[in-house]
Amino acid sequence: MTRGEFVASLQGHTGYVARHRPILIQIQFSLFIVGTMFYVFGRLGSDLYDQSTWGSLLYIHPLWFWGAYNMLASSICIIGLMNPPRRKTILMGLGMHVVQFSAVAVSCLFYGGDFTLGVWGIGFLIFHGVVFVRTAQEY
């Protein structure tokens, strides 16, 4: 990292989205596939949605709802990341991801779910909520 890039990163002008757009699109595609699996398993009535794993807070909505919500948020992010990147579209999709991962983290950590899934939710929440949203505001 050059001195100019370091100073620009301190000022909030990192170019993160423009520089890492292909890998960010791949992350969103991966989240879309995970959402598709949850949607299909939810519609087929799988026992994947166990209260001891996910916590009682996520039981407000059925499993297929969370899968569809994840697919919608990922689709909006992918559309926003296509060339040229669209800031408001990216921010809307990421805001939806922040809501979902916050619900996963809170449910798993405080409502009787698996601790590992709660930490996973916090990790994605930090990634989407802090780094990605802040740098998406550059456009």
For residues 118 and 112, is the Cβ–Cβ distance under 8 A? no
Rounded to 5 degrees, φ, ψ at 14 are -95, -25
Closest CA to 42 of 58, 26, 30: 58
What global pTM score does this model have?
0.80
Both tokens of residue 100? 């979902």
What pLDDT is recorded for position 30? 93
For residues 66 and 38, is the Cβ–Cβ distance under 8 A? yes
Closest CA to 77 of 53, 101, 55: 101
What pLDDT is recorded for position 138? 65
What pLDDT is recorded for position 8? 64
What pLDDT is recorded for position 65? 93
What pLDDT is recorded for position 32? 96
What pLDDT is recorded for position 112? 86
Place of tokens 């550059």: 138
For residues 71 and 39, is the Cβ–Cβ distance under 8 A? yes
List, run by run, the mean pLDDT of 10-residue segments along the chain (139 residues). Answer: 64 69 90 93 82 83 91 94 84 88 89 86 78 64
What pLDDT is recorded for position 71? 96
